[in-house]
Structure 1
Amino acid sequence: MNYYDLRINEENKVWKKYFNFGEYFLYRNKEVEFHLIYNIENKVNNLKIQAINSQRVVLKENEFTKTTAPNFDRIQNILFIKDSILDEKLFEDIKGLEFTTIKIDGKFQNDYKLMNFTNVINCVDYINSVRAEFDFFSTLVLDRTKIPNDLDGFFLSGWDEYGEFYCIVNDKLKSQLLKIEKASEFLIFDKIQVS
């Protein structure tokens, strides 16, 4: 089984027609870091995100004239998908994943579904991994013996220097995600070495 670090394509050509979101989730009207809320609450509900235009928060969708809501985005490495394009039936056989609704703060037509993994695992093979100052110089290796066989995805802990999670998916979950509209434009799957 192959494992992948799931991330978003950040190239300008992909994003030129979409607006962005703030760098924090909102929880009880306060900016929060996902991994801290997840560790406290163990189940993430009532999260919001903020739409951004020219470095300012926008509370009404009609204020965006040249851009629209993206099909996918992420905050703090946590992926979310526009609910209008997500067919949750595609994921009925996926183990370790649930979708949690997150709303855009203000008046917006669509909500999003957060890819909320039910497991946080530190399965980093620290002997064979190399942590450098920049991610592209780093080499992440996972220890297969620490990954439960019945999971198709999980939050990886123990690798980010600030405690944030990474979204890790296997071949089965990758295949299902790529069936969503425009997934191949937005999603990048970086294959991870496994020892």
Structure 2
Amino acid sequence: MQIIRFADLKAEPWRNGGGVTREIARHGSEDGGWDWRVSIADVAKAGDFSPFPGMERVLTVIEGELLVLTVDGAEHAMEKYRPFRFDGGAAAGAKLPTGDIRDLNVIARRDAFKGYTSIIELSKKRAHPVFQGQLGVLLQGQAKAGESGAEPLELGRYDAVVGSDADSPEILGRGFLAVVSIDPVTARG
């Protein structure tokens, strides 16, 4: 079982200086960039988002009350734990009417991968499995992750559990978990 500890992630400044991002996971591309990336960003001031042409984004506010996201001139009030999908190459900017926020970003190269974010409430009685192609990110509460026959490990806030089909890790606890899925897009023909 692989756990990515949030405390071990390095904060990288945005290209436009409007915040910092901590990268949880990425899949490299042939051009030396990446085909998909999952990260947590701290937004400390209003301003423009960095564009990602050819990409699709799913943004979820995970800390703070409200982000007003403008995408190609249309405003979207983004409340906590409500994922929102938009074109990564679109002109996008943020207003912070209630103060700083933290968000979970899933960015995937269009026509190659499709990213999804689901927010679930954890249970102490029924474990939630994390499968291959998924990450489980503890957003709030207390939880443990384990595999069959192994002692479960305590998760800290924003720690991520990497999924596996061989022996799928399971998460038990109280609180909220973001389940990020990255699916390859199959060619139609």
TM-score normalized by the length of structure 2: 0.30
Write 1 or 2 for the structure with the bigger share of helix: 1
Give the structure, 1 or 2, with the largest relative contact order (CA under 8 Å, sep 6 or more).
1
TM-score normalized by the length of structure 1: 0.30
